[in-house]
Structure 1
Amino acid sequence: MKTFHCNRCNQLVFFENTHCEKCGARLGFVPELSQISAFEENEDGRWKSLHPLAQDSFYKPCHNYSVENVCNWVIPADSDDTLCCSCQLTSTIPNLTQPNNRLYWYRLENAKRRLLYTLDELGLDVKSRQEDPEHGLEFQFLEADAEGKGVMTGHDNGLITLNIAEADDAHREKVRSSLHEPYRTLLGHFRHETGHYFFDRLIADTPRVKAFRTAFGDEQQDYSAALDRHYKEGPPPNWADNYISAYATMHPWEDWAETWAHYLHIVDTLDTAVSCGLVLVPDSPNEPTLTDQTPIEETTFDNLMTRWFPLTYVLNSLNRSLGMPDGYPFALAPPVIDKLRFVHRVVAAAARR
Structure 2
Amino acid sequence: MKIFHCNRCAQLLFYENVRCERCDSLLGYVPEQREISAFEDAGDGCWRSLHPEANGALFRQCHNYAVENVCNWMIPADSPDTLCRSCQLTRTIPNLSEPENRLYWYRLEVAKRRLLYTLAGLDLDVPSREADPEHGLAFEFLADGSDGERVMTGHDNGLITLNIAEADDAHREKVRTAMGEPYRTLLGHFRHETGHYFFSQLIETEPRWLEPFRGLFGDERADYGEALEAYYREGAPADWQASYISAYATMHPWEDWAETWAHYLLIVDVLDTSTSYGLALVPDDPREPTLTDRTPVEDASFGNLMKRWFPLTYALNSLNRSLGMPDGYPFTLAAPVVEKLRFVHRVIAAAGDRSAGKRSPSAHQQSPAQAQ
Question: TM-score by structure 1 length?
Answer: 0.99
For 2:97, give the aligned amino acid: T
How far did 1:44 drift? 2.0
2:275 alignment counterpart: 274
How far did 1:287 drift? 1.2
1:351 alignment counterpart: 352
* C-alpha separation in 2, matches of 1:310 and 1:23: 38
Residues 1:296 and 2:297 are matched in the alignment: yes
* C-alpha separation in 2, matches of 1:162 and 1:175: 15
Instruction: Write out per-residue CA displacement over residues 251-306 of structure 1, whole angstroms, 9 at most, x where no aligned residue.
Output: 00000000000000000000000000000001001111000011111110000000
For 1:234, give the aligned amino acid: G
* C-alpha separation in 2, matches of 1:206 and 1:36: 36
**Could you say what secondary structure the match of 2:107 adopts?**
helix
* C-alpha separation in 2, matches of 1:279 and 1:188: 26
1:333 alignment counterpart: 334
How far did 1:206 drift? 2.0
1:23 alignment counterpart: 23
Q: How does 1:2-151 map to 2 (within 5 A)?
A: 2-151=2-151
How far did 1:22 drift? 1.1
How far did 1:31 drift? 0.6
Question: TM-score by structure 2 length?
Answer: 0.94
* C-alpha separation in 2, matches of 1:286 and 1:250: 39
* C-alpha separation in 1, matches of 2:20 and 2:326: 31
For 2:280, give the aligned amino acid: V
How far did 1:124 drift? 0.3
Instruction: Write out per-residue CA displacement over residues 26-45 of structure 1, whole angstroms, 9 at most, x where no aligned residue.
Output: 10000100100000012222
1:152 alignment counterpart: 152
**Could you say what secondary structure the match of 2:37 adopts?**
strand
2:365 alignment counterpart: none
**Could you say what secondary structure the match of 1:53 adopts?**
helix
For 2:121, give the aligned amino acid: E
1:259 alignment counterpart: 260
* C-alpha separation in 2, matches of 1:12 and 1:264: 25
2:198 alignment counterpart: 198
How far did 1:205 drift? 3.7
**Could you say what secondary structure the match of 1:97 adopts?**
coil
Aligned length: 353
Provide the identity percentage.
Answer: 71
* C-alpha separation in 2, matches of 1:340 and 1:153: 24
**Could you say what secondary structure the match of 1:9 adopts?**
coil
For 1:91, give the aligned amino acid: R
* C-alpha separation in 2, matches of 1:41 and 1:325: 45
Instruction: Write out per-residue CA displacement over residues 39-85 of structure 1, whole angstroms, 9 at most, x where no aligned residue.
Output: 00122221000000100000000000000000000000111110000
2:221 alignment counterpart: 220
For 2:218, give the aligned amino acid: G
For 2:68, give the aligned amino acid: E
* C-alpha separation in 2, matches of 1:111 and 1:184: 13
* C-alpha separation in 2, matches of 1:287 and 1:175: 37
Q: How does 1:284-323 map to 2 (within 5 A)?
A: 284-323=285-324
Unaligned 5+ residue runs, structure 2?
Answer: 355-372
Instruction: Write out per-residue CA displacement over residues 228-259 of structure 1, whole angstroms, 9 at most, x where no aligned residue.
Output: 00000000010000000000000000000000
* C-alpha separation in 1, matches of 2:274 and 2:221: 39
* C-alpha separation in 2, matches of 1:135 and 1:220: 21
For 1:230, give the aligned amino acid: Y
How far did 1:146 drift? 1.3
For 1:149, give the aligned amino acid: E
Instruction: Write out per-residue CA displacement over residues 170-214 of structure 1, whole angstroms, 9 at most, x where no aligned residue.
Output: 000000000000000000000000000000000014211000000
* C-alpha separation in 1, matches of 2:227 and 2:45: 55
How far did 1:24 drift? 0.8
1:342 alignment counterpart: 343
Runs of 4+ in 1 over 3 A off after TM superposition: none
**Could you say what secondary structure the match of 1:38 adopts?**
strand
* C-alpha separation in 2, matches of 1:172 and 1:114: 19
> How large is the RMSD of aligned CA atoms in angstroms?
0.5
2:186 alignment counterpart: 186
1:168 alignment counterpart: 168
Instruction: Write out per-residue CA displacement over residues 87-117 of structure 1, whole angstroms, 9 at most, x where no aligned residue.
Output: 0000000000102100000000000000000
